[in-house]
Chain A
């Protein structure tokens, strides 16, 4: 009834599966031995980071990775930190919270890295910062600035950007409210992505505009997986607001612009929190001609005169090629996190976690993002700059202290 060939085949299948499993285990074992041997040297300063190299946040994750690499190379070329060579240990968290927790656990308790930097996105920063805090590690992070990050009241966390992300909208509100009353917009629309990063920005602006008497004609959120923003933008176009304040992340910003172009609706002011401040992606996705006059917020520009900026640009181009205008902010922010560590070592002569935590709560720290300082829960105390696309490039236009050009109003028509 049961022929032998059947059981032979079964045995073969078992063997193959076992081989596959074995392969998998040996792959992980090999790389395990490779990394652990390199991190045991006491003269090396190992900094562990978990980044999203696959999954939803993979792209900005890679930009952050490049920033760290440029910084580490630069430091090592100068002889390292306090004579210790810097080694970045970067692992992938698949944009998953379980993996991010596991990764920081492994980095700290298994591989005993000296320091850690934060992951990408507020969503992953919160669980990761809890792990680091438990081990009394300083948590210097350049990419998690949503309100909930600071609501944790962690004394060990420092967000390396000029201000909490909510402030990105405030600089635009400041600018609009600085205009003479007669020139201000009368009506406004606030489409926003339902995300801890984007939504609070639009909300903040809306609150201030309404207080100043600017009428809200549309306010709404859309989920991240919304395939089509055209219905929302059509509704906004029908309401004909003077200003559109968009809480955007990345591709939703491109979609908003695309829809507005197709609907032939051109507001006098268009502010988009993120996505529009990407020097390469934005013109690539919406067409260079359609960028003209779009406002966004930024913390760093290729021709910034801030501390170390020129060095960073030079090193970045030497390593990765491209142009200065093509460097992503996320890379610069990551570089700034490194600069902070470098400065602490210079000022105190130490780079342990306790020193970092104690130091950063006071004083100002010049980086390529400008002078940074933090309050007791790690929220930075500065502000962003208002930028506008003028002549195919991002230019700071507000506040006056940093402005390189005058704001263009009304927004030039879409190129189509």
Chain B
């Protein structure tokens, strides 16, 4: 029982970080109907950035977020403008899968040239600190990471709800045609929206780098998990992604405790397939009711 609750705590804390990564990905899907296979690579790139800022300049990875987030936003917007915007509309959905995969490979290649393929980890003074609460251990990094993720998710929510830019994005998500008619500049919304989605990778990368050793190829494992999260939550639904992110964290850590880690991945995928069987649009996916 103790181990189970310990697993549960861990699952929630880890899930929060997945939620942040997945929120960016699902946002990108919502705006431009692009499944961004490079999201994991952007997270790893951010982890490397945080690593450099920490080892070179002694900047704390949590503070580094202030630098990496705008940087990732620009890289994301530029990437969209360069590689996704030119795609022809009729098969953009399929081609964008390939383009973002190629982007992931490109990022991986650049990272392996710059940093070699050695596993890196960010070892801050508090990397191995943990708190003891009622007999349960809570790692400091995990707790800070979770709190930062929640804060950023809140910020993202605020941006989407309260700003003009956020309203333009939401209008585009709901109905691209009407949004365009209402004077929303679709090209700009897509570029900025992609940037916004990628910018969530910055903080996730800092946290990821603090939690796990990583190398340029780490994004493959990350992306398979992120895809499951966004599909389970319902493509395009940020709330769904957050809940699904926490769900995947809890399911895999509880399954690892109760059962065996070799089956914990599997149990999650089975849950995903079952959900899709009942609700092909995911837990919180919107039913698109266009003209039939």
Contacts and interface: CB of A to CB of B under 8 A. Distances in A.
B10 interface: yes
B213 A223 contact: no
Given A56-B217, A262-B139, A234 B261 contact: no
Interface string B63-82: 00000000000000000000
A54 B128 contact: no
A304 interface: no
Interface string A226-256: 1111111011001000000000001100110
Contacts of B222: 227
A254 B121 contact: yes
Contacts of B144: none
A56 B117 CA distance: 9
Interface string B128-164: 1110100001010000000000000000000000000
A250 B252 CA distance: 22
Contacts of B256: 222, 226, 231-232, 235
B91 interface: no
Interface string A155-180: 00000000000000000000000000
B2 A238 contact: yes
A227 B221 contact: yes
Given A220-B261, A230-B253, A254-B119, A263 B213 contact: no
A262 B130 contact: yes
B3 interface: yes
12 contacts: A220-B260, A221-B262, A222-B261, A225-B265, A226-B256, A226-B261, A227-B225, A232-B256, A234-B6, A258-B128, A262-B137, A264-B137
B257 A235 contact: yes
Interface in A378-416: 414, 416
8 shortest A-B CB distances, which residue pairs?
A222-B261, A58-B117, A231-B256, A225-B221, A251-B213, A231-B253, A261-B128, A262-B130
B145 to A, nearest CB: 12
A254 B7 CA distance: 20
A383 B253 CA distance: 38
B52 interface: no
Interface in B192-251: 211-213, 215, 217, 220-222, 225
The B interface is mostly helix, strand or loop, or mixed, namely: helix
A203 to B, nearest CB: 15
A39 to B, nearest CB: 28
Nearest to A52: B117
A263 B217 CA distance: 28
A220 B139 CA distance: 23
A261 B211 CA distance: 13
A234 B101 CA distance: 36
Nearest to A258: B128
B85 to A, nearest CB: 16
Contact of B119 (A59, A225, A234): A59
A51 B109 CA distance: 18
Report the interface size class on chain B.
35 or more
Interface residues of A, number: 37
B260 A287 contact: no
Contacts of B252: 228, 231
Nearest to A260: B128
Nearest to A414: B128
Contact of B129 (A54, A56, A238, A416): A416
A281 interface: yes
A290 B129 CA distance: 13
Contact of A228 (B112, B130, B253, B254): B253
A281 B265 CA distance: 28
Nearest to A219: B260
A231 B257 contact: yes
B3 A234 contact: yes
Interface string B256-268: 1100111001000
A22 interface: no
A15 interface: no
Contacts of B139: 230, 262
A285 B213 contact: yes
B213 A231 contact: no
B6 to A, nearest CB: 5
B137 A231 contact: no
Chain A CB count within 10 A is highest, among B121, B123, B132, for B121
A268 to B, nearest CB: 20
Contact of B121 (A226, A227, A285, A414): A285
Contact of A262 (B123, B128, B220, B260): B128
Contact of A416 (B128, B221, B254, B262): B128
